[in-house]
Structure formats: structure tokens, C-alpha cells
Amino acid sequence: MLKDFKPLKTYFIENRIALIIGLSSLLFVDTLQLFIPRIIKKAIDSLTIGQASSVLLLKYALIIVGIAITMAIFRYIWRYFVFGHSRKVEKSLRNRIYKHLQTLPLSFYWRTKTGDLMARAVNDIDAVRMAAGIGLVALTDGVVLGLATIGFMLYIDIKLTLISLVPTPFIFYFTLIITRKMGGEFRQAQQTFSELTESVREALAGIRVIKAYNRQPWGYSRVKDNGETYISNNLDLAKTLAIFFPMMTLFTNLGLAVVIWIGGRLTILGNITTGDFVAFISYLNLLTWPMMALGWVTNSIQRGSASMRRINGILDEVPEITNQTTNPFRGVIRGEICLKSLTFYYPQEKDPALKDIDIRIEAGQTIAIVGGVGSGKSTLLQIIPRLVETERGMVQIDEIPIHDIDLKNLRGSIGFVTQEAHIFSDTILNNIIFGRQGVGKDLMGNVLEISQLAVDINSFPNGINSILGEKGITLSGGQRQRLTIARALISNPPILILDDALSQVDTRTEANILNSILEMRDGKTNIIVSHRLSTIRRADIIFVLKAGKLVEVGDHAALLVVRKEYTRLYERQQLSEELGGE
């Protein structure tokens, strides 16, 4: 179980000073705590034998006040250092997980649910933080304070100690059972809470549809049902908690009853002093917490290690291979692309998404790829920057297998506008430069002109510094697409890939944007997927895909002569353009 926590070792070493200060303060507080009953004993004994003076009693009182103040100070110190340590562990672990996630190949994301990753990033890290912080405290406290208290009790009377300890295993065991039950109920309540939040969010986001269809009762009942489940989950939790404390007091009082009965007799017989008798009762009370702590910590560490195992599951995922050769190509890429008998299967799929494809694109050419939905266009495009991995040698750029090109160089040489125009909640400027350094003003102006964003930006109150996303401006589909085109153009890459990148822009604007792009990119390679004939026909070569196979190759005029797949697509498109179906 402890093996699971191994990745945390470095953080414990890094934070060792804070940990040492924190844990020694904790032990110091524990020790001080153990001396209070000793003072009580002395005070009572001096009273019983009639030696007590008001000066002596004041002295004892002052000692207790002194101890209490010191304890308060050192309690603050250990909480600060130990919890500070656990927060640092949390932070480092979260950063490490996120950093690692960024290195993982896309294929990892095909088989992993985002919600699941989010849960690990939030709940599991939380459980680990608890184990590394309060869990550590409870463990130290439970063991050290528990043993020391028993030691002080044994010092008073061995037999009495053994008898009074009879209920303690029950306290430990009972805490173990109850905290486990509470843990399950707590997770259930958390789960329902996230469902409740989601249903409220959905009901508010979809308010327009709900109103339009008069479906308020439906929306209301969904929220209401989730709300009721949430309350009943919490009532379960409250019930368990309601059993816990009364049971604890019951156990403690059972111990107390035994001590009064047997310890009282020992006092009468003169085996122990009245002071010892009272001190013993104090120690018994002190012992309740370490027993509870041990029960609790067992669960906390179990839960922490289960979470740690899930986190390790992510950390053990193998990062995508950046460079397969020791001396990868880091030079300038011209942009000649060659696919040789390219075949590709998605994991777990029995039919290939691409089969036996041979394509040659000269540097500086503009080519188009066309085909119906699911014919493999996007898959083919993603193979070029190695977002989707193929066998070595199937894809070459400038005669170099892409696996021999430095991955950073490869991806840096390709401007890829994906099918979904992804915008981050940040300013327009940051969405375009995307963390790149040293983007010149002229280039920026040029790119904004080409993507025709300049006009839109002028109409926003904060111009290029307007914030996009949930709390800012909502862009139309076409605006988003044009923005992602600007993002690709800003690095002026040797290879530009547009995957259906202008589908939501009207035909005339698309033609204008394309004109300017081709003009700017004279001599560079462009790969375009589009459904618009006006766009496709301008390509030097058109490749037609059907069910993962390359079925036709040629320019627009030549393909029309063949009168097969391309002609079919062409006629369908022409019809929809005539019908104004844009």
C-alpha cells in the first residue's frame, strides 16, 4: 500500500524542513498535554494531605496556563507547517499530472473520458493531500500520543491500565467501520451534488429551448429529483455521524465506570493516591482521540493509496515518442510530402480508416482532398504532424521519414486548422499568437487582413484585447473559423493544412480569404479539405477519398472527364449551391 505513495517521496524530501518543524511541534504539544494530568495529581494530592496553600495552588494554576499557552502556539506552528506541506504536495502533484497529460499521445485521449480525468485531478488529488497532511498527523498522534498515554497510565497502575484498556480496541474498530461508511456516503453525496449542479447548469443554459417548448415542468422535475437525492444522501451521512459521537461517549464512559469502580477501590486501599486516581481518569479521556485517530487514519491512508494508484495509472502512461532517432532533423522544412502505401487502423477497429494510400505533394503545391463524411480526410491530415501515429516510413517530408524529424520542428512547420475551431477563454490577441514570442506588428496586421478579422475586431469595444468565451464575447461560427485560420497563418509555416476550415463562412468570403492565403503563401505547401467546389477546383491536384481508399487523382477538369466519384460529389455540390443551401 505504501508503495503507491512512492511518487510523493521527492516532495517529502523537498519539504523535509517544514515537516521536521511541524512534526516535532506536534510531538511537543502531545508531550505537554500529557503533563497536565500530572499537575492535577500534584494539586489534588496536596489538597488531600492538607498541605495545599493558596500560593502553591496559584503556582499549579499558572503552570497549567503556561502549558496551555505554549500548546496553543505550537499547535499553530504544526498546523501551519504540516498543512502547508500537504498543500505543496497537492500543488506539485497537480502540476506533474497536467504536465504529463500534455505529453500523452492523442490515442490516450481516444480511450479516456475527460470527466474521468477531471475526477482524478480533483477528488483523487484531494484524497492524497488528506493522507499526506492530516493523515500523517493522525498517524503520528495516534501512535505516539496513544503509546505515551498508556505509558503514563501504566506508571500509575499496571492492572488498572489493562482493565481500563478493554474498550479501546472497540473505539478503534468502531471508528474504522464508521469512517468507512461515511466515506462511501460522502462520495455518493458528492456525486449527486455534481449531478445536481449539472442539471441546474443545463436547465439554465437551455432555458430558451425549455421556454420555447413550454417544458418548464420537465426542467423543474429534473432539478427537483436531483435535489431530493442530494438531500437524502446527506441525511444518510448525518445519520451515520449521529451514531458516531454518542457511541464514542458511551465507550469512554464504560472505561470511566470501570476505573471508578476498580480504581476507586485501589485508592481506598491506598495503592494509589487520590491524585493518581483523578490523573488516571484524565489519561483515559486523552486516550480516546489517539484511538479514533488510528481508526480514521487507516481509512484515510487506504483511500489515499487507492487515489494514488489511479494517479499512478496516469503517470505510468507512456508519453508520445518525441524523437525516435538520436539525431532528428532540425533543419528547415521545404514542404514536400509523400505518403507511401499508407494504411492506418484506429485501435480496436477491424476496418482500416485509410488503406494503401500513395500521395505525392511537391513543395509549393496546393492540393485538395475531397470525400464524403467518414472517408478518412481528417485522419489523413492528422497523420502528417504525427497527431495520429503510423508506421515508420509511410510518411515522408522532404524525403525524410516524419519519425526522423524532430517533433517540435515537425509540428512547428505545420499550420493546422482543425475541423473544430477551438477558442480559449482569453483575448483575441492571445488566441492568435497562442503563446508564441516575437510576432511582428506587420505580420499580425497582414494576418488579420487575410482572415478578414480586422473588421470584426474593430467593432468590439476592446478591439484585439477583447476577451472571448463564457465571460466575454461569443463569436459566430464563421468568426471562430477565421480566428483559427489567423492562428495558423501567424507562424507563416511551410505547410498549411485546412480541414474544412471555412465551412461556416459564406462562399464569397471563403473565396476572398482563400485568394489572399494563396497569394501570401506563394511557394509554400497547402493542403485543403473543403466541400466547396469553388475552393477545390483551384487546387493543383485533387485527391478523392472513399471509405479510406484513394479512388481518383487529378485536377478538376481531368476528374470531370472521368465521370465517377468526383463528378458525383461535384454534381451534388453544384445542386446545393444552386439551391442556395449554404
Query: 485 — alpha (psi -120 to 50), left (phi > 0) or beta?
Result: alpha
| Distance, CA of 574 to CA of 564 (rounded, Å) | 15
Q: Which residue number, 331 or 374, has a Cβ lying nearer to ligand ADP? A: 374
- Neighbour order of strands in the sheet with 366-371: 400-401, 395-397, 337-344, 354-361, 549-554, 541-546, 366-371, 525-529, 495-499, 414-417
Q: Cell for 316?
A: 505510468
Instruction: Identify whether the C-beta of residue 475 lies closer than 8 Å to the C-beta of residue 460.
Output: no
Using CB under 6 A as the binding rule, whether residue 374 contacts ligand ADP is answered as: yes
Least distance from Mg ion to the Cβ atom of residue 531, Å: 10
Q: Which residue number, 303 or 377, has a Cβ lying nearer to ligand ADP? A: 377
Least distance from Mg ion to the Cβ atom of residue 375, Å: 8
Q: Which amino acid is at 405?
A: I
Q: Which residue number, 274 or 419, has a Cβ lying nearer to Mg ion? A: 419
Among 334, 377, 403, 487, binds ligand ADP (CB under 6 A): 377
Name residues contacting ligand ADP, limited to 92-111 (CB under 6 A).
Answer: 110
Instruction: Identify whether the C-beta of residue 383 lies closer than 8 Å to the C-beta of residue 375.
Output: no
| Distance, CA of 243 to CA of 185 (rounded, Å) | 14
Q: Which residue number, 349 or 442, has a Cβ lying nearer to ligand ADP? A: 349
Residue 452 has a CB neighbour count (10 Å cut-off) of 18
Among 371, 385, 415, 494, binds ligand ADP (CB under 6 A): 371
The 3-state secondary structure of 74-139, one letter per residue:
HHHHHHHHHHHHHHHHHHHHHHHHHHHHHHCCHHHHHHCCHHHHHHHHHHHHHHHHHHHCHHHHHH
Q: Cell for 27?
A: 510531538
Number of chain residues interacting with ligand ADP (CB under 6 A):
12
Q: Which residue number, 375 or 452, has a Cβ lying nearer to ligand ADP? A: 375
Encoded one letter per residue, x for contact with ligand ADP by CB under 6 A and - for no contact, window 292-331 reads: ----------------------------------------
Least distance from ligand ADP to the Cβ atom of residue 348, Å: 7
Q: Which does 375 bind (CB under 5 to 8 A by kind): Mg ion, ligand ADP, none?
A: ligand ADP
Strand 414-417 vs strand 366-371: parallel, antiparallel, or unpaired? unpaired
Q: Which does 110 bind (CB under 5 to 8 A by kind): Mg ion, ligand ADP, none?
A: ligand ADP
Least distance from ligand ADP to the Cβ atom of residue 381, Å: 8
Using CB under 5 A as the binding rule, whether residue 378 contacts Mg ion is answered as: yes
Q: Which does 492 bind (CB under 5 to 8 A by kind): ligand ADP, Mg ion, none?
A: none
Encoded one letter per residue, x for contact with ligand ADP by CB under 6 A and - for no contact, window 176-215 reads: ----------------------------------------
Least distance from ligand ADP to the Cβ atom of residue 240, Å: 44
Least distance from Mg ion to the Cβ atom of residue 497, Å: 12
Using CB under 6 A as the binding rule, whether residue 346 contacts ligand ADP is answered as: yes
Q: Cell for 510?
A: 471563403
CA distances 384 to 105, 109, 180, 340, 379, Å, are 14, 19, 51, 12, 9
What is the b/e burial string over 183-215, where b = at least 16 CB atoms within 10 angstroms of the residue's CB?
eebbebbeebbbebeebeeebeeeeeebeeeee
Cβ within 8 Å of residue 228, ≥6 positions away: none
Which span (38-46, 136-144, 318-326, 345-353) binds ligand ADP, by CB under 6 A? 345-353
Encoded one letter per residue, x for contact with Mg ion by CB under 5 A and - for no contact, window 406-425 reads: -------------x------
Q: Which residue number, 191 or 419, has a Cβ lying nearer to Mg ion? A: 419
Instruction: Identify whether the C-beta of residue 141 lies closer than 8 Å to the C-beta of residue 29.
Output: no
Q: Cell for 123?
A: 477528488
Q: Which does 349 bind (CB under 5 to 8 A by kind): Mg ion, ligand ADP, none?
A: ligand ADP
Among 272, 286, 333, 353, binds ligand ADP (CB under 6 A): 353
Least distance from ligand ADP to the Cβ atom of residue 379, Å: 3
Q: Cell for 497?
A: 493544412
Instruction: Identify whether the C-beta of residue 518 lies closer than 8 Å to the C-beta of residue 494.
Output: no
CA distances 555 to 339, 528, 541, 561, 573, Å, are 19, 14, 5, 10, 17
Least distance from ligand ADP to the Cβ atom of residue 351, Å: 8
| Distance, CA of 481 to CA of 179 (rounded, Å) | 52
Encoded one letter per residue, x for contact with ligand ADP by CB under 6 A and - for no contact, window 405-444 reads: ----------------------------------------
Number of chain residues interacting with Mg ion (CB under 5 A):
2
Cβ within 8 Å of residue 172, ≥6 positions away: 291, 292, 294, 295
Using CB under 6 A as the binding rule, whether residue 379 contacts ligand ADP is answered as: yes
Which span (169-177, 184-192, 244-252, 371-379) binds ligand ADP, by CB under 6 A? 371-379
The site for Mg ion (CB under 5 A) is made up of: 378, 419
The site for ligand ADP (CB under 6 A) is made up of: 110, 346, 349, 353, 371, 373-379
